[in-house]
Each structure stands twice: as structure tokens, then as C-alpha cells.
Structure 1
Amino acid sequence: MIWIVFVIFLAACVAAGTTGAIFPPGEWYRQLSKPAWTPPDWLFPVAWTTLYICMAAAGARVAMLDDNAVAMALWALQIALNTLWTPIFFGLHRIRVGMVVLGALWLAVAACMIALWRLDTIAGILFVPYLGWVSVACALNASILRRNPRGGTAA
């Protein structure tokens, strides 16, 4: 792995992660009805930091390989969808649209994981926790949508 390539992928992840600072959960989110299994607030930055490092490492491992176009396109798609969810959910309070974005993100992460795995087993393995976390996020978003059909605002 070339370290400058890792840094570039990590910068993309950090850029995606900054949406959490721009659009924090806030009072609207705290007031929503959420399931008892909602992860505690402290876990989110820990999980995302770990996931972003793994995602950057996976991308960097494959970036310099031959025949990586599909994997790199899927990596770009998943980070774009990752970046999009926070402003939609926390910024616009659009729970239903957030669910659609998360569904697309789950598909993009799963496809990216497979594409990475075919080129480099370790890169594919590095995406497994990400797919697990996005699965939890999908279940949480769906539960919040069911519990808050009006979304606290016009959902």
C-alpha cells in the first residue's frame, strides 16, 4: 500500500464524516422515539473513526491494482451515499428519504465489498464491519420511521 494513496482515501472519508459536525443530531433527533437497542451516542464517533480507517485502507490496497475500475467506482459511490445521508436525515429531517439513501448505501457497500474481495481478500474483509454497521443503521432508520411516521416534521 502506498501511504499517500491511503491518505487520499482517508481524506475522502474525513470529508464524508464532517457532515456529522455540520448536521449534528440535535434536539429533533433526541425527541424522536427510538428503539431500546439504539447504540449509545459515544459509540458513533468510535465506530465511524474505525470504519473510515478500514475503508481508506481497503481503497488504498486496491487503488494501484490492475482491473480495479469497478471496485474504485463502487468505492466512490458508497462514499458519496455515505456523505449524503447525514444532511438528509439530520439536516432536512427526512427520515423516509434517509431510509432510501441507506438502502442504496447498503447495496453499494455490499457490491464494493465483493468487488474489493475479488481483487484483494484483505480489502474485502476490511469492508465487512462497514456492511454490518450500515445494516444496523438501516434497521435503526427503519425503526425510527415506524415509530415516528410524521418524523417530528414533514417527513
Structure 2
Amino acid sequence: MIPSWMVIGAVTFLVAFGSFFITPRDVKWFARLTRPRWLVFEPLIPLIWTVIFICGAASATIVWEKNPASTVTWLLMGCYLLLEIITVTYIPLMLRYRSLRVGEIIGSVGMILGVLLAISVLPISWLATLLLVPYLVWSPVGTYTTEELIQLNPEDA
């Protein structure tokens, strides 16, 4: 039998890998946007999201191991998966539609789902909840950054 951490890690990797289907034309649109002066950490964003996804996969593994294959656990796994899908669709959908507002909406939905997931996981494991904190901290930063981009680039909202 394959260990749960390997299955969860593989699913996390495959979903995250799906975000790489971005056309160069779309990236050029995003590259030309005016950015806030304080956005000096932009090159670190892929590393930050990698750490967040690893923490999320570890959190999901802990939840699974607490009560494997129960209905509640399967529902929570679905929530983890939905949260990751929402998160990785932020860039491709925003770029595809060339709309910062689309990114802001996706970021806000992810932030709300992240909070609900953390609340749902708390009775099962405080460690699994703690591993969701990087997402809960970073998600509002990303959403706020998108709002700042909208203010600086209103024609691309």
C-alpha cells in the first residue's frame, strides 16, 4: 500500500503543476503592469507558494492519518484539494482574462476557504491547523497586492 503522504504529495504536485499552462502572450500582459514600490519580494513568490503547498500537504496528511477514509476526512480532503485548485487558478485565470479583478476574486475566495478549512481542522489536530497558517498569512498579502495592482493599473482591472 502506498503511504498517504506520498499520495497527498503527488496530488499536490500534479495540481500545482497544472498552473504552468500559461501562454507567453499572457505573461507579457502581466509583466507590463505597474507594481507597488514595496513589492520587492516578487522573485520569492514561487518559493513562498512552494513552502505553503508543502505545509498544506503535510496538514492534509495529518488529518488523513487521524481518521483515514472516514466520510469527514474525505470531505476535508476535498476541501484541501479545492483550496489548492482555487489557489493555482489565480495566475492562469487572471492572465487568461487579463483581469486583475478576476485574480482578486479568486484570491478572496481562497482566503475564505482557507479560514473555513483551518476552523474545520482545528478539532482534529492543532498541528494540522498550524500548518495552514502560512496560507492564512500569505493569502491576504496576495489579495492585497492584487488590489494595489488594480489601483495602479485601473485599465487592467
Whether TM exceeds 0.5 here: the answer is yes
Equivalent positions of 1:99-110 (< 5 A) are: 99-110=104-115
For residue 10 of structure 1, what is the amino acid of its counterpart? Answer: G
* Alignment pair present for 1:74 and 2:79: yes
Unaligned runs of 5+ in 1: none
* Alignment pair present for 1:12 and 2:11: yes
Cα distance per residue 1:39-59 (max 9 Å; x no partner): 433311211121111110000
Q: 1:37 to 1:118 in 2, by over 3 A?
A: farther
Distance 2:40 2:57 in 1: 24
After superposing on structure 2, the runs of 4+ consecutive aligned residues of structure 1 that deviate more than 6 Å are none
Tell me the TM-score normalized by structure 1.
Answer: 0.85
Number of the residue aligned with 1:129 = 134
The answer to whether the 8 A contact 2:19-2:88 is kept is no
The answer to whether the 8 A contact 2:62-2:125 is kept is yes
Tell me the TM-score normalized by structure 2.
Answer: 0.84
Number of residues of Structure 1 aligned to a counterpart in Structure 2 = 151
Q: 1:140 to 1:54 in 2, by over 3 A?
A: same
Q: 1:86 to 1:11 in 2, by over 3 A?
A: farther
The answer to whether the 8 A contact 1:19-1:86 is kept is no
The answer to whether the 8 A contact 2:118-2:132 is kept is yes
Unaligned runs of 5+ in 2: none
Aligned residue for 2:39, secondary structure, equals: coil
Number of the residue aligned with 1:47 = 48
Shift of 1:87: 1.2
Supply the RMSD in Å over aligned alpha carbons.
2.2
Cα distance per residue 1:76-127 (max 9 Å; x no partner): 2211211321211123322111211111100011111111222111000000
Number of the residue aligned with 2:153 = 148
The answer to whether the 8 A contact 1:68-1:119 is kept is no
The answer to whether the 8 A contact 1:13-1:52 is kept is yes
Structure 1 vs Structure 2: percent identity of aligned residues? 22
The answer to whether the 8 A contact 1:12-1:79 is kept is no
